[in-house]
């Protein structure tokens, strides 16, 4: 079977959609087999919070052997650590150590960069920070904040922490990519640019997520132009414009002709991660959605339309 171009990546959402969040880390080699069988040469992997990340770390050499045996590449490794933006100093320090562990995995897998969601503001949920990919808008509108929260002090600590994040990633020859989502700091391109200027690190990048940005009412072409200097990796999925969903290309309302015309204008030379699925998305045949989108994406990249 012919393979998709190496700059088209099977995002980890394929695994999450099939096996839950987080999926069993011990089954990573089987996940690699499934992504390989779909026709991908490049794949994403993740370490999601402490327990899952620790398990991935414990089997990292086995994962590398399977990656090499199959001739795959892992250009991006996701390190999901919402505790990095905690108002508690000890929690931040603990998560920085976990982040460095994730960078060690990424370096072993010969990744180019690591990814995390935008910082989660110091929301107070009823319990601990929920282990979810996306936060419901109604829940976010009803969270509370610490009574003694002083924003300027929190912001100063946040910037310091993310400078350390970037510096740790740099020591492992990695870029650090911030992923936009509803309810996080850096959810829109304007918010990201404000944050990036404050962090002021050359390896601080933007993981351009087409579906999330479209659902947040961003003009994608303008967003591409504004974030071009920070974007090496685009998460590709369609969206209907009414909710956070990740659909196959052509199943939503994104104008892909315009999107790729703008990519030509900014001379984008990076990677595309196919990021379809999640419990918020109505995708009847996940594998086919990935194949169809990879084929459509290949045609846009090669201009074979």
- Does the residue 192 lie in any domain? yes
Predicted pLDDT at 51: 97
Average predicted confidence (pLDDT) for the chain = 94
Contacts of 24 (CB under 8 A, 6+ apart): none
Which pLDDT score, from 0 to 100, does residue 182 have?
87
At 176 the three-state DSSP class reads: strand
DSSP 19-38: H-SS--GGGHHHHHHHHHHH
The CATH number for 80's domain is 3.20.20.150
The answer as to whether 285 is a domain residue is yes
Q: Is 173 domain-assigned?
A: yes
Give domain status of residue 3, yes or no: no
Q: Express each pLDDT in 20-37 by its tens digit.
A: 999 999 999 999 999 999
Q: How many domains does the chain have?
A: 1
Taking residue 188's Cβ as centre, other Cβ atoms within 10 Å add up to 18
Residue 141 pLDDT exceeds 80: no
pLDDT confidence bin for 73, thresholds 50/70/90: very high
pLDDT for 133 beyond 80:
no
Using a 10 angstrom Cβ sphere, with 0-12 exposed, 13-18 middle and 19 or more buried, the burial of residue 34 is: middle
Mean pLDDT of the 122-141 span: 64
Give the pLDDT band of residue 97 (cuts 50, 70, 90): very high
Residue whose pair of structure tokens reads 């026709």 in the numeric block: 39
Residue 217 lies in a domain: yes
Residue 242 belongs to domain spanning: 8-302
Q: 144: helix, coil or strand?
A: strand
Q: What pLDDT, on the 0 to 100 scale, is given for residue 275?
A: 98
pLDDT per position as a tens digit, 221-277: 999 999 999 999 999 999 999 889 999 999 999 999 999 999 999 999 999 999 999
Which pLDDT score is estimated for 191? 97
| Cα 67–chain centre separation | 20
Residue 152 lies in a domain: yes
């Amino acid at each position: 079977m012919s393979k998709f171009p190496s700059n088209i990546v099977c995002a980890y959402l394929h695994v999450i959609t099939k096996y839950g969040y987080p999926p069993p880390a011990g089954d990573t080699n089987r996940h690699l087999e499934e992504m390989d069988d779909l026709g991908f040469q490049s794949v994403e992997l993740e370490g999601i919070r402490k327990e899952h990340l620790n398990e991935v770390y414990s089997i990292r050499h086995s994962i590398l052997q399977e990656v090499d045996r199959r001739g795959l590449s892992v250009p991006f490794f996701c390190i999901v650590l919402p505790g990095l933006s905690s108002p508690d100093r000890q929690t931040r320090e603990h998560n920085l150590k976990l982040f460095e562990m994730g960078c060690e995995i990424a370096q072993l897998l010969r990744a180019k960069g690591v990814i995390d969601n935008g910082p989660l503001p110091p929301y107070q949920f009823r319990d601990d920070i929920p282990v979810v990919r996306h936060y419901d808008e109604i829940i976010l509108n009803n969270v509370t904040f610490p009574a003694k929260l002083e924003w300027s002090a929190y912001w100063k600590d946040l910037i310091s922490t993310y400078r350390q994040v970037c510096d740790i990633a740099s020591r492992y020859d990695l870029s650090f990519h911030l992923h936009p989502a509803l309810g996080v700091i850096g959810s829109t391109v304007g918010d990201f640019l404000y944050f990036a200027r404050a962090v002021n690190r050359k390896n601080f990048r933007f993981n351009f997520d087409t579906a999330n940005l479209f659902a947040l009412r961003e003009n994608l072409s303008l967003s591409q132009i504004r974030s071009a200097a920070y974007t090496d990796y685009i998460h590709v999925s369609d969206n209907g414009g009414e909710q956070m969903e990740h659909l196959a290309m052509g199943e939503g309302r994104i104008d892909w002709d315009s999107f790729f015309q703008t990519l030509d204008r900014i001379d984008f030379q990076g990677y595309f991660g196919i990021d379809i699925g999640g419990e918020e998305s109505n995708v009847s045949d996940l594998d086919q959605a990935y194949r169809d989108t990879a084929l459509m994406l290949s045609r846009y990249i090669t201009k074979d339309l």
